[in-house]
Structure 1
Amino acid sequence: MLTALRAARSLPPTVQLLLVNQFGVYVGFYLLIPFLATHLRDDLRLSTGVVGAIIGVRSLSQQGLTLLGGSAADRIGCRPLIIAGCLLRAVGFAAFAVVDSVAGLMLAAIVTGVAGAVFSPATRAYLAYESGPQRLQAFSLFNVAGETGTLIGPLLGSVLLAVDFRLVAAVAAVVFTVLTVAQLMALPPRPVTPSGQSVLADWREVVGNRRFLLYVCATAAIFVLYNQLYLTLPLEAARASGFAGSAALLFTASTVVTLGLQVRITDRCQRRGSSPAWIAVGTALCGLAFAPAAIGATVQRAAGSAGLWAALPALLPTLLATVVLTLGVAVAQPFALDLTADFARPALTGTYLGVFATASGIAAVVSNTVVGYSVDLGARLAVPWLPWLLLGGYGIGSAALIAVMRTRSLFPPTASGTVRPQRT
């Protein structure tokens, strides 16, 4: 963590502010979201189906509209979008504190999701513009800031939840209100570079970039596989160990690895190879991470309820999978975000980042559906390794695709690892 703080001091003040904003965004988000489903089901007595619909519409609103947010950032400017997005999320979270009707909760979820679609691509585009030759390091620290917020948010939320969920929602809204005011006062505007064409023409340009679309298809695996930290890995950990807190243990392990190693990993990788090479290595690691889980699922029987120490041996396969998966993401993700900006001309950076985020979100939804079905199918056919084989194969296959793109020189020239000039 101290390494990350020292590295952040070397970045421009605007980038430092964006890192603080990212930390605050994740604190506010994870302060509320982990407890929302329980509040809807237990406090408001809503059915599981309605709860799932409310949670799902928030995710769909964000992932489905991120492309629009990226295009808006290119045309209006990043600063207004960041400010508007933080304000919208403050309104959405405040609504969760006061409404109890299904219609009102749906609206709050939509506003919360739209807010993310507005500020997320704008923040990444602004970071890409302002960090210049330090862009890779900035994206690495951006990940660290988010992971730190992910660690602190639920801890603070669990303390406030002892009082009332409405207090949780109110404090989360206050966090985003403070972020709104901070960006309004301290975040400088930057000139907008006209694309010289309509929004539809911008989109056609991106969709017509076949190299970029191939790249997006390959690197979506990073997001999809990391998303298993919220789906298959907790399920397998709970099944094998019987420990109620197994999911929290996996999240903690992932966060500790990221906070302790992210900056060092990015710094050392940057010195020793090109961006495509490290994206391929990281994605392959993500795929290989599921091998321990596959072995554990095959040889371990379902366990009854157990405490931490009794459950720890049974948790080792999923813990190892989580650590290797997190290391793979730590290697690949900063380079993937950095290289996404390299595909774009300056006037369309937000649009390219928006397409990247939207495609990754859609891939996660589709993949989670397929993987979830494979878990049930594997249980019925007595082949518990089936979902892990699919996930591992997806990671290795995507890494191979990136390697092929590299050998065929399908990446931008700046992907060679050379120092980039300052973008204006």
Structure 2
Amino acid sequence: MLSAYRGLPAASRLLMINMFGINLGFFLVLPFLAGYMNGLGYAAGTIGLVLALRMLAQQGLTLFTGAAADRLGARPMIILGCALRVLAFGLFTLVGSLPGLIAAAMLTGLAGAVFGPAVRAYLMQDAGERRAEAFALLNTVGHAGALIGPLLGALLIAVDFRLVAGVACAVFAVLTLGQVLVLPARPVPRLETSLLQGWHEVLTNRRFLLFALGGSAYFALFGQLYLALPVEAQRVSGVEAAVSAVFIASTLIGIFGSVPLTSWFKARYSEGASMAAGLALMGAGFGPLALAGPALADAPAGRWSTGGLLAVLPVLLGTALFTVGTAVANPFSMTLLPQVGSERLGGTYYGFYYLVQALAATVVNVAVGQLLDRFGQGPGRALPFLFLLLVGLAGAGLISWMSGTGRLAPRSPSGRRSTSGSGRPQPG
């Protein structure tokens, strides 16, 4: 991991530090938001809607922020996004009503929309041929921040959720200042393509649209790290600490597994086959919950017990499998995106990609929230998890088909796809 970090350009290394801080601040708050809202009396369906709106704001608005990064440059967008997170988490310290929580959640998403495509477009250009390794390392440092965030949050939540949000606000204030002082500016190439022409190019790129549809399973499933997994962990164990256990298991696998898993798959399979495998593993992660959920009753609220510890094991097993899938799927999806899209309009393509992701994630999040509310115990408890399993398999099937038919291969200078019979790019 250290050798991969040292092999990156200086600006890319700075982005790794930035991502660590971003996830540290973010995961201080988000893992505990569902529990906080539940304590305020909100139903799982309402919580799912708030989380879906946050994701919709983050992924949907990238349609505009990605295009802005192409035209204004990635650096100012990264700085602005961190500054908006200061405002978002500051708002969480002041509100408790549903409209206020929705506003704070959506502002959190807007901030992510501003810096998300910019970070990836900057890294895509800066890392060059080491993109897969760079995005895998970005996952690793992100998971490291996601590990420390919930641990610190678990300590602070015992005092008050508003204290957790206040500390996150301070983290993003430091990040904003750091990006202003340290992150180097990059030349912004002049684009001959207008905003509408860029959007038209994306919307008429059929293989990109198919790729975005298949890849939308990633965010639809990843969002369950904040909804289905923590809700089920707390239900069967009876304690909020189980939520931290879910995130700790996820982040430890992400820290130590992202780079080795990416290298292992890259050496053996095409990028498309690797991404498809990752999506299938993410969906399979909900299999243990579907099997065990119907047999487990709601645990009484209280301290850890032997029964609660055993009951949460299927959730942790599913989380482990799910996280292996995310570690495999994400780096290859980020590597494939400029191949099916365009490096020239990298931010615009990232923006549209995240818009499709957001729409799919919103539908899935609301559906899962409703299913969790309706089927609290008994045989029906398997339904939300079986639904998520099917989402993962559907996304994996579409990406696998695109890979096998050569639709993910990079274009040759003549504009044609260059593939072997297996769907891999031809050498040279």
The bucket for the TM-score relative to the shorter chain is 0.7 to 0.9
Q: Which stretch has the larger CA shift, 85-94 or 375-384?
A: 375-384
1:309-358 CA deviation, whole Å, 9 max, x = no partner?
33233223222211111111111111011111222322210111112222
1:41-70 CA deviation, whole Å, 9 max, x = no partner?
97xx89779988876654443233111110
Deviation at 1:244, TM superposition (A): 4.5
Pair 1:302–1:343, CA change in 2 (3 A):
same
> 2 CA distance for matches of 1:39 and 1:374?
20
> 2 CA distance for matches of 1:194 and 1:74?
9
Deviation at 1:40, TM superposition (A): 7.7
Verify: 1:88 aligned to 2:88, yes or no.
no
Report if aligned partners of 1:240, 1:300 keep a CA contact under 8 Å in 2: yes
The DSSP-based 3-state class of the residue aligned with 1:384 is helix
Please give the TM-score of this superposition, normalised by the length of structure 2: 0.85
> 2 CA distance for matches of 1:309 and 1:267?
39
Pair 1:411–1:103, CA change in 2 (3 A):
closer
For structure 2, the residue ranges without an aligned partner over 5 or more in a row are 412-422
Report if aligned partners of 1:273, 1:417 keep a CA contact under 8 Å in 2: no
Q: Which stretch has the larger CA shift, 346-355 or 166-175?
A: 166-175
Percent identity between matched residues is: 43
Q: Which stretch has the larger CA shift, 8-17 or 156-165?
A: 156-165
Report if aligned partners of 2:55, 2:362 keep a CA contact under 8 Å in 1: no
Deviation at 1:102, TM superposition (A): 8.0
Match of 2:403 in 1: 406
Match of 1:137 in 2: 133
Q: Which stretch has the larger CA shift, 88-97 or 8-17?
A: 88-97
> 1 CA distance for matches of 2:309 and 2:96?
40
> 2 CA distance for matches of 1:365 and 1:378?
20
Please give the TM-score of this superposition, normalised by the length of structure 1: 0.86
Pair 1:304–1:162, CA change in 2 (3 A):
closer
Pair 1:17–1:104, CA change in 2 (3 A):
same
Q: Which stretch has the larger CA shift, 332-341 or 121-130?
A: 332-341
> 2 CA distance for matches of 1:272 and 1:96?
46
Verify: 1:322 aligned to 2:319, yes or no.
yes
Verify: 1:387 aligned to 2:368, yes or no.
no
Verify: 1:354 aligned to 2:390, yes or no.
no
> 2 CA distance for matches of 1:50 and 1:287?
24
The DSSP-based 3-state class of the residue aligned with 1:263 is helix
Deviation at 1:191, TM superposition (A): 2.0
**Count of residue pairs the alignment pairs up:** 415
Report if aligned partners of 1:240, 1:315 keep a CA contact under 8 Å in 2: yes
Match of 1:250 in 2: 246
Match of 2:419 in 1: none
Structure 1 or 2: more helix by fraction: 1
> 2 CA distance for matches of 1:324 and 1:69?
33
Q: Cα RMSD over matched residues?
A: 3.2
For 1:265, the aligned partner's letter is: L
Q: Which stretch has the larger CA shift, 73-82 or 48-57?
A: 48-57
For structure 1, the residue ranges without an aligned partner over 5 or more in a row are none
Pair 1:294–1:7, CA change in 2 (3 A):
same
Match of 2:224 in 1: 228
Report if aligned partners of 1:275, 1:417 keep a CA contact under 8 Å in 2: no
The DSSP-based 3-state class of the residue aligned with 2:325 is helix
> 2 CA distance for matches of 1:371 and 1:53?
10
Correspondence for 1:65 among 42, 61, 64: 61
Report if aligned partners of 2:121, 2:346 keep a CA contact under 8 Å in 1: yes
